[in-house]
Amino acid sequence: MVNCKNCGAPLTLEDAVCPHCGTPNPEAKEHLEKLAKLDRDFRKTKTEVAEEVRKSKSGYGVLVILVMVLLANLFMIPLHAATYDIAEKIVASKMGSAMIRETMDELLEEGEYIEMAVFNDKYQLSYQEYGDYNRIAFLAEYYNRLISNVTDYLYGKDPYNDPLVSACQNIKDFVSEYEYSGRYIDDRKMTKYIEDLNGEFEAYIRTYLKLTDEDIAEINDMSNSELLLRISERMAYEEEE
Domain membership of residue 213 (yes or no) is yes
Domain membership of residue 147 (yes or no) is yes
Q: Provide the pLDDT for residue 81.
A: 43
Domain membership of residue 155 (yes or no) is yes
- Count of residues making up the chain: 241
pLDDT tens digits for range 193-208:
999 999 999 999 999 9
Domain membership of residue 173 (yes or no) is yes
Residue 194 near residue 136, CB atoms below 8 Å: yes
More confident residue, 218 or 52: 218
Instruction: State how far the alpha carbon of 152 is from the alpha carbons of 13, 205, 219, in Å.
Output: 15, 15, 22
Indicate if the pLDDT at residue 86 is higher than 50.
no
Q: Provide the pLDDT for residue 21.
A: 72
Cα–Cα distance, 241 to 235 (Å, whole number): 10
pLDDT tens digits for range 30-80:
666 666 666 666 566 556 555 554 554 444 455 555 555 554 454 443 434
Domain hosting 224: range is: 124-241
Domain membership of residue 26 (yes or no) is no
Q: Provide the pLDDT for residue 75.
A: 43
Nearest residue to 42 (alpha-carbon basis) of 16, 3, 73, 14: 73
More confident residue, 190 or 61: 190
pLDDT bucket at 83, cuts 50 / 70 / 90: very low
Cα–Cα distance, 35 to 95 (Å, whole number): 17
Domain membership of residue 210 (yes or no) is yes
Q: Which of 80-84, 178-182, 211-215, 236-240 has the lowest mean pLDDT?
A: 80-84
Domain membership of residue 84 (yes or no) is no
Domain membership of residue 49 (yes or no) is no
Q: Provide the pLDDT for residue 40.
A: 63
Instruction: State how far the alpha carbon of 176 is from the alpha carbons of 38, 96, 131, 142, 221, in Å.
Output: 30, 32, 17, 11, 11
pLDDT tens digits for range 12-44:
666 677 767 777 777 766 666 666 666 666 566
pLDDT tens digits for range 102-146:
888 888 888 888 888 888 877 777 766 777 888 888 899 999 999
More confident residue, 69 or 82: 69
As for how many domains the chain has, the answer is 1
